[in-house]
Structure 1
């Protein structure tokens, strides 16, 4: 076979490949719709491995429900997530529906535990109300559950109360209260609370007027970054560009004092 013939054959194959893939997907989809799951599996699996979102979604449904394959909810979740990550709407909806089923099961244990006074359950029920996990979103109920858990001393709930006040979620926005609760959580080494304290000051909403806002923001962001918060690390770099040499030294000194107070005791 001549070189020219080989090139022509390669070109023909490349032109026909999309059509072949589409035909395979169509065959797999028809088999899926008619519940011929052995054929569907044969056609869809190779396409799913290549990243075809329609194929991953249908394959996910097969694993979620045990249609023609051994039921594997975790694998279904991974397949839905693969499609959702590239913006495939059906995969997003499948993932949401699957998680909602899981939340419904979770609520059966979380609600009675929260009502009996378990702080972790109260905080979790707050999150489920805030974000609509297994029930209709209710920010006011979320705030109430966070409050109960925070009063019981749960650090995560104290942070959530601070966040609620910060963004006015389920309660009137109040930056002073946000800072107060963030500080409660930060005193116990809560990384996200440190990050959000940094955002309060970088946005000039902090209550401490004894120092430059950017100095305080840097000190909190630096410690949050040191504890692994990548967003804090990026903001810290931007804050450095705003500080002159004297401010930079003050920021480093303050960061060190925060480290001794809020980080070192929990390492």
Structure 2
């Protein structure tokens, strides 16, 4: 019981100390998170008057939104400019929002776009999104679906979810062909309908990557009902065209019996095709088949060779190779290493 009280006391002391040493700006952030906007604003204002660019941006934001203080766009503009002059991307984005607002006496789409652009060039995702919508919704510019999509894609590339924005783009702009890279970005953000549309269009032009992606999406029911038969058709067509990713996926399907009868020999056949093109995932899969003796005669030397080659680009193969070595003799390991050194991928 004493131990529990002691631990509680220590915890309280640590928390008190952390609070005591928190900067005024951090205290304001906490007050803001707690919903105590008036108190947060007062601290932000004090720090802003000392020249803190972060606090200046917050003061400008609070004035523009009327949070914790009466709305005053003129004061918001002044504080945001002070912060932006110090290079704050957030302040630049807030300025864009201030100028974009039709209810503001400072309303100007040209200035909004200018400040969004400056913030976007500094990597501010909110500004990138806002630029996309300006082009999408004709705010001071003619509608440009390509530019709108370009900005949304930049946001997606930063790791943010832009699925809603992409859906709005499709609703307003309709459909367009799009590049393979456009399709991959749409797929990454789980806008499967858009990705599928792009890949289907490209597959009609015999783009092997798109053919494979349609097969992959069919196999796993992404953007359509799951259909393993169609998935295998896509895999096979792309595999026969020499696409390593498709060859590996087709081999994987044969190994597990997904969409085709299970057949280890056919799995090895397609794994080999992809592995010969230096696809590390296929090399690992081929190493596994040799280690387990599935579809081939068990051969630790060849398994080690393929694990070793795979480990160059697939780091997980290092573990598989090292675990296998525990079952091998030094001479076997030396032979496998020699085979790996002498190996060359198919051109």
2:121 matched to which residue of 1? Answer: none
Aligned-partner Cα distance in 1 for 2:125–2:195: 21
2:290 to 194, 197, 201: 201
2:231 matched to which residue of 1? Answer: 142
| Secondary structure at 2:158 match in 1 | helix
Answer whether contact 1:163 1:178 (CA < 8 A) is retained: yes
Shift of the 61–136 alpha-carbon distance from structure 1 to 2, 3 Å rule, reads farther
- Offset, 1:222: 1.0
2:247 matched to which residue of 1? Answer: 158
Q: TM-score, normalised by structure 1?
A: 0.62
- Structure with larger RCO (C-alpha < 8 A, sep 6+): 1
Shift of the 239–112 alpha-carbon distance from structure 1 to 2, 3 Å rule, reads same
State how 1:7-86 maps to structure 2 within 5 Å. Answer: 10=17, 13=20, 23-25=31-33, 27=35, 39=65, 66=130, 72-73=151-152, 74-75=154-155, 78=158, 80=160
- Offset, 1:98: 7.8
Aligned-partner Cα distance in 1 for 2:127–2:230: 35
- Offset, 1:121: 1.9
Answer whether contact 1:63 1:76 (CA < 8 A) is retained: no
Higher-Rg member (1/2): 2
Q: How many residues align structurally? A: 214
Unaligned stretches of 5+ in structure 2?
1-13, 37-61, 68-79, 81-89, 91-123, 135-147, 162-185
Aligned-partner Cα distance in 2 for 1:118–1:8: 59
Report the RMSD for the aligned CA atoms in angstroms: 4.2
Shift of the 9–142 alpha-carbon distance from structure 1 to 2, 3 Å rule, reads closer
Shift of the 27–131 alpha-carbon distance from structure 1 to 2, 3 Å rule, reads farther
2:304 to 203, 207, 218: 218
Unaligned stretches of 5+ in structure 1?
1-6, 29-35, 46-59, 82-95
Structure (1/2) with the larger helix percentage: 1
CA deviations over 1:164-223 (Å, ceiling 9, x no partner): 212333223221111011112223333322111012223x143332xx532221011111
Q: TM-score, normalised by structure 2?
A: 0.49
